[in-house]
Structures are given as C-alpha cells and as structure tokens.
Amino acid sequence: MLLCACAGERLDPEAYEAAVIDWREDRLARLRAETGYLNLAGLFWLEPGESTFGAAEDNDIVFPVTDTPTIGRFVLADEGVQMLPSPGVDVRYQGIPVRTLRMSDDSSEDPVNVTYGRLSWSVIEREGRYGVRLRDLEHPAIFGTGPLEYFPIDLSYRTIATLERYEQPRVLQLNTVVEGLGWAPESPGVLRFELNGNTHELEAYSSGEQLFVVFADRTNGEGTYPAGRFVYTNLPADDGRTVLDFNLAYSPPCAFNDFSTCPIASPRNRLPIAVEAGELYSPERHWTDIEER
C-alpha cells in the first residue's frame, strides 16, 4: 500500500495524494460505523454489586433515548459483569433475546455487545475498573459530522524515522482524559526524525504490527484538538527505519464526545513546533448532548 511503503522509496505525488484522500474517506466511514465513535451516547462506571439501568431517574444508571423505566440490572463481581434484563424487556445478543448474560469486556477475546431498540452497549475494562459504553445507533452525529477538515496534504510532513530502542521495553504510566484513570502502554523506544531541517523525537507505543504515537504540537488548541493527536506507523525494518506520516495524524475519539478514555500526549511527546499536517478540529464537532442537534 502506498501510504505504508518502505523508507527510501520514490513516490508519485499525485498517487500519494489520492491515497491520502482515500484514507480520509475511510476514516470517516470508520467513525460512522456501528463500532465507530460518533454513536457514543454514554459511559457509566460500575460500582461493585448491583446497578439498575433504564430511563427512570431513580435508576443507578440513566440511559437516554429510551422510554423503558428499568431495562435491567448490571451486577459487578470478582468474575466480571453480569447483565439481567427486566422481565418482558427484549434485550438481544446476536439477535437472540437474553434473560441473563455474562458481559465479557473489551479486554477479552470475545467482548459482548447487546442491543435494545436503537441502543447498544458493551463493557470496557480500564485499570481494573469496569464501565458500560452506550451507543445510540441512530445518533444524529453519525451523519451530522463530516466531511472532516484537514491541513493541505504536504509531502514534507512524510518523513523517515529511526526507532532508537530502549535496552528493554518500558511500561509507562500516562494520563487520559478521564480524571484518575491512567494508561500503561509498553514502549520499545523513541522515533527520531527530521522536520524542516530540525531533529525531533517521539516516544512510540507497541500496538500489534504497528507503532502508535500520541503527540502534541503548537497547533493544539489553534486548529487541532487541544489534548493532542494520534498517528500510527509500521514496525521498522531491520535497519530500524520506518515512515512517519503526519498527513495521517488524526483527532482522538474524545474530540467528538465525552464518552471515550483517550490518552493524553505525555510531556516528552510535546513537539516544540507546529505540525501543520493531518486532521483539524472544531469544537462544533464535539457532541455533548445526544438530543442537542
């Protein structure tokens, strides 16, 4: 694939621009998908024991966009989260009505997602805390957001980076947008690269067959998302080199709503320059109320 081509190859600028435009269209499609981030409608952290949920204000968890007073109960115990729908309430898993269900969370190999009318929900696990992630499959943000805005495509922001490995991978302790909730990624080392004749470095995080970078720069709050942006790169070749393409930098999920657990750029990943490439941000794209538009 052109965007993931090896370091040192020659690029056709027109073909590269077309590939970036295709990537942008695919990004919006992923955001709008059923498992995307534009349909998020709530994030509710569970306390040990039983929590009722539904439309009624006296529930422990109040769901929007439903008239059902009490949809059911969540029970959080040492073995995880159990869901028990109320009698006569048609909650479904894989299209089949359920009476009780173990809600495997997103850290498992087979996380459970259930539906009820236009709503769906699943369980997430973060540092031993469990939360219910709620989606509205008819959320107005799904098609009320887009097209996304970007800086002009600029090949000078597609640079060669060299991974300088630590002696041993490091497990880091970083912050997220959720107060009191941390993130502990593993880092193999730092990516060293040049932009506009100056050398910079960013700490990279292991992410399967790729490296993941959370970075900040001087455009944050001045056109891009204030807490920073994300970008992925391929694992380096044997010579330690890979392509770091800031034209593919994008806003985190928390740029669109308040129901994500996005990591924040660490102090060492705050570049002293303006990276005028990748996705732009506007507060108008942030949906805080499911019924607001």
Closest CA to 100 of 118, 112, 110, 111: 112
Strand-pair partners of 243: 160
Note the pLDDT of residue 284: 85
Q: What is the pairing mode between strands 61-62 and 49-54?
A: parallel
Dist CA 217 CA 248 (whole Å): 15
Q: How does DSSP classify residue 144?
A: H
Note the pLDDT of residue 40: 96
Note the pLDDT of residue 8: 57
Q: Is the pTM of this model over 0.75?
A: yes
Dist CA 36 CA 282 (whole Å): 19
Closest CA to 214 of 180, 167, 255: 255
Domain ranges of the chain: 2-33+146-285, 40-138
Provide the 10 A C-beta neighbour count for residue 160: 15
Note the pLDDT of residue 5: 54
DSSP notation for 8-61: T----HHHHHHHHHHHHHHHHHHHHSTTSSTTEEEEEEPPSEEEEEESSTTSSE
Dist CA 150 CA 224 (whole Å): 9
Name residues whose C-beta falls within 8 Å of residue 35's C-beta, 6 or more positions apart in sequence.
Answer: none
Report, as ranges of residue numbers, the positions in the chain whose pLDDT lies below 50: 1, 290-293
Dist CA 268 CA 28 (whole Å): 30
Closest CA to 272 of 164, 176, 199, 163: 199
CA geometry: angle 272, 189, 201, nearest 5 deg = 20
Class of domain 40-138: mainly beta
Cis peptide upstream of residue 147 (ω within 30 degrees of 0) = yes
Dist CA 35 CA 31 (whole Å): 8
Note the pLDDT of residue 9: 66
Sign for the CA dihedral angle at 186, 188, 190, 194 comes to negative
- Identity of the residue numbered 60: D
Sign for the CA dihedral angle at 271, 282, 36, 81 comes to positive
Q: What is the pLDDT of residues 32-48, one digit of tens each?
A: 999 999 999 999 999 99
